[in-house]
Structure 1
Amino acid sequence: MRILLICLFCLLPATLSAQTNQPSGTIDVEDSATQDAAIANRIRGILAELDGYDDVTVSVTSGIVTLRGHTLDGESARRLNDLASRVQGVVAIENEVTETTDVVERLNPAIDRIRSRATQAIAFLPILTIAIGVFALVVFLGYALASRRNPWDRMAPNPFIADIMRQVVRLAFVMGGIVIALDILGATALLSTILGAAGIAGLAIGFAVRDTVENFIASILLSIRQPFRPNDTIEIDGDIGKVIRLTSRATILLSYDGNHIRIPNATVFKARIINYTLNDQRRFLFELGVAPDCDLALARDTAVATLNGLPFVLREPPPEAWVETVGDSTVTLQVAGWIAQQETSFALARGEAIRLTMLALTQEGISMPEPTFRILGPGTKPSAGPEAPRSIPEQPVPENVTASADQALEKFVAEERAAQGEEDLLSDDAKRE
């Protein structure tokens, strides 16, 4: 029962559409058999010129057109209402045409269409072959031009950019070949459809791989800007090390602990980069605490004189010392000096400067106290006073503090660059940012 109701609901729209499309207008009072015959002949003549209506019969009585028979599909039967309603003199239409269930009649048109399309395809083969040949020739020329070393290597700042330019040339020739082939086939209208589909697909892929695309663009910009060179000591977001190489995905550093640090280029491009190698002169700073009751001017002059006496400290810019802060029991003295970091180790130079400055201050009788608290219990007598300062023997002043650690890291970087065949976007010939 349910199946019968479903079938009735499916057939209802077709029945309504067949009956609702009726002619409109006034109806003549007089009835004419001659006019009925003329209407029938006119409709039969029209149907005879159309395909798929050979099995349809037409009869007209008092201006009422009755159509009987079979058509290949329901749409053809519904079109009869439109056709008959346009004939002058038609009062009403009784469309009793149904869709044929004969398998042979339904398959014959499909077979005819397949044969027709196969014939058209065979006739289309010569022009299709020419279009494919022209497309292949254009693509071959594009790949041949892109495979040449010049002018791409000469125009690009590094091999990475040169390879991108080659890919762009290949893509341009492929698109040009498609346009020419479609123009030969007379199907240039398909180009807008192809480009629209490619644009939508590219947008979807772009959102899916947004981080990868951002990293790729950052690699291009970094390879053009060249903010550092191999063996440069740089700091990126707190990571300090010497540059090994710049790849299309990441910047590789060698830390002072001997570890490899791979930082995505998107992070490098947006980060604050400190390049310690770009300027050979580098300042070191350290703080020393002295007693509040000491001669602060003497402490400052002693610290400056000590740094001036060190052979690895530069005379220009000169060393400096100043009072930084005053605490509860200590006055902080800030001391600064400059070195040539290509010849001198920054860490060792700073350490030696601290050691010798503390020694000089002690020899001048300038104490460097720490906060102390004395607890006196019952029967405890306070001490007689501070102990006399101990005599400190003279300490040798090093002639030079070589950058042995930096030189060792530079050797490691050179070995890494020579051992690994990975791409490097850094070039000594490129303009430094």
Structure 2
Amino acid sequence: MRFLTLLALLFCLAAPAVAQDGTIATNNGSSTEQVFTDAAIATKIRDILGELEGYEDVRVSVSQGIVTLKGTTLEVGQLEELQRLVGRVEGVVAIENGVTISTDVRRRLAPMMERFQLRFWQVVAFLPLIGIAIVAFALVTWIGLFVARRRQPWDRIAPNAFIADILRAVIRVGAVIGGLVVALDILGATALLSTILGAAGIIGLAIGFAVRDTVENFIASVLLSVRQPFAPNDAIEINGDEGKVIRLTSRATIILSFDGNHIRIPNATVFKARIKNYTRNPERRFEFDIGVAYGTDLAAARELAQRTLADLPFVLDTPAVSIWTTELHGSDIGMRLTAWIDQRETGLLAARSEAIRQVLIAFEAAGIEMPEPTYRLMMDGGPAAPADTLAPRPEPRPEVQNVAAKMESDLEHIVEVEREMEREDLLSADAVKE
């Protein structure tokens, strides 16, 4: 009996105590649980890294929740991603990251070669689809170019050849863009088109600012070709430059001055300038001033001058001749005489010159004095000679001289020759004028 009691006591001392809930209590229970937790953390981290590329050389160890990482990776991004992944694992207290970037040339080149091979075989697999996309692009582009090359209906729609060429260029660009869209849609890469167009828009904006004057000049050329403010051989004045219009090009307006010089004015300047067109209205007025002496019957002088001008064969009846007194000078009274001519038949300068001559003859015949500034010369040999003996009076010559528009005709002939030398011209005689 004593033996059995002693045996039971020894068994109780040697065997672990059993808790009331059935679990076995040990003196080092907390240490065993921590070891199990560290192992689970390490296993989970290794499983995560095993599913990802680039972490094959990373070694993981965990002690008391502190994760120690050693080894190498290929990229800095992988190193940062490793830190983030390990930090998200439950139970990790701290991370000692000893992973560095690998400098092994063979290992670093291997992924690149793999990617190259992968891309190569992808391209090979896409070759049939790429061929179809190229054919679609070529077909759409060819159709657009074929339509753009046709003269009709663009020559009929556009007011001139310049605008027709612009329409053709727009169609060509639209055809290329349309073909590109179709090709990218076949390849499933339409998102790339947005990137291309966005980059093209930014580049176009930068170029537009750089060549702003050129763009402004081009737009002015388009508007001038549509508006047609003048026609070939029109006599115009632009910012003080006068002459006959030769042509309107896509860059400048070329006129022939009355001195025979070529004047090239940028279209941007022409579009914004004040244009005076002398040819648009066939009737044109000329004017000149004369002076009569104080004491002259102004009404009689005015009537005589008006009758003289009205009787000239090249002066128009409507609008009528106009004459009025302008101002009082020191030695005479100023008068202004105006009359109208048809400049298609009569030269302006020739008509004005002949009108002055006829009025002078009529005034001298009527005894109307037209004084000039008088100077008295004192000589030692005697009194000064009378003024009327210094020069003989001209004999009246009432016949009217030729005032045909010969100079204008000669200039028009020069302009026609100049126009035949170059084909580019945005002016059209049949176009609607502004």
How high is the TM-score relative to the length of structure 2?
A: 0.87
Contact residue 215 and residue 249 of structure 1 kept, 8 A? yes
1:53 is paired with a residue whose SS is coil
Q: Which residue of 1 aligns with 2:357?
A: 355
Aligned-pair Cα RMSD in Å: 2.5
2:426 counterpart letter in structure 1: L
Summarize the Cα distance change of 1:345–1:382 in structure 2 as closer, same or farther, 3 Å threshold.
closer
| Displacement of 1:236 | 1.6
Identity within the alignment, %: 57
> Structure 2: how far apart are the matches of 1:253 and 1:32?
100
> Structure 2: how far apart are the matches of 1:91 and 1:355?
117
Stretches of structure 2 that go unaligned for 5 or more consecutive residues are 1-29
> How many pairs does the alignment contain?
405
Q: Which residue of 1 aligns with 2:414?
A: 412
1:334 counterpart letter in structure 2: R
Q: Cα deviations across residues 223-275 of structure 1 (Å, max 9, x unaligned)? A: 11112222222222222222222111122222222222222211221122222
> Structure 2: how far apart are the matches of 1:144 and 1:248?
25
> Structure 1: how far apart are the matches of 2:174 and 2:80?
51
> Structure 2: how far apart are the matches of 1:65 and 1:385?
128
| Displacement of 1:220 | 1.2
Contact residue 283 and residue 342 of structure 2 kept, 8 A? yes
| Displacement of 1:402 | 0.8
2:92 is paired with a residue whose SS is coil
2:336 is equivalent to residue 315 of structure 1: no
Q: Cα deviations across residues 134-154 of structure 1 (Å, max 9, x unaligned)? A: 111111000100111110011
Q: How does 1:189-338 map to 2 (within 5 A)?
A: 189-338=191-340
How high is the TM-score relative to the length of structure 1?
A: 0.87
Summarize the Cα distance change of 1:53–1:293 in structure 2 as closer, same or farther, 3 Å threshold.
same
Summarize the Cα distance change of 1:340–1:81 in structure 2 as closer, same or farther, 3 Å threshold.
closer
| Displacement of 1:417 | 2.1
Contact residue 31 and residue 62 of structure 1 kept, 8 A? no
1:32 is paired with a residue whose SS is helix
Q: Which residue of 1 aligns with 2:63?
A: 61
- Structure 1 stretches (4+) deviating beyond 4 angstroms? 28-31, 373-392
> Structure 2: how far apart are the matches of 1:143 and 1:400?
59
1:204 counterpart letter in structure 2: A
| Displacement of 1:198 | 1.1
Q: Give the counterpart of 1:188 among 181, 186, 190.
A: 190
2:57 is equivalent to residue 52 of structure 1: no
Q: How does 1:57-206 map to 2 (within 5 A)?
A: 57-206=59-208
> Structure 1: how far apart are the matches of 2:144 and 2:314?
60
Contact residue 363 and residue 392 of structure 1 kept, 8 A? no
| Displacement of 1:54 | 2.3
1:429 counterpart letter in structure 2: D
Q: Which residue of 1 aligns with 2:429?
A: 428
1:43 is paired with a residue whose SS is helix
| Displacement of 1:46 | 1.9
Q: Which piece of structure 1 moves more, 256-265 or 77-86?
A: 77-86
Q: Cα deviations across residues 98-133 of structure 1 (Å, max 9, x unaligned)? A: 222322222211211111111112112221221121
Q: Cα deviations across residues 291-335 of structure 1 (Å, max 9, x unaligned)? A: 122111121111111112211111222212110111122211100
> Structure 1: how far apart are the matches of 2:351 and 2:112?
92
2:346 counterpart letter in structure 1: T
2:408 is paired with a residue whose SS is helix
1:194 counterpart letter in structure 2: I
2:126 is paired with a residue whose SS is helix
Contact residue 311 and residue 400 of structure 1 kept, 8 A? no
Q: Which piece of structure 1 moves more, 376-385 or 359-368?
A: 376-385
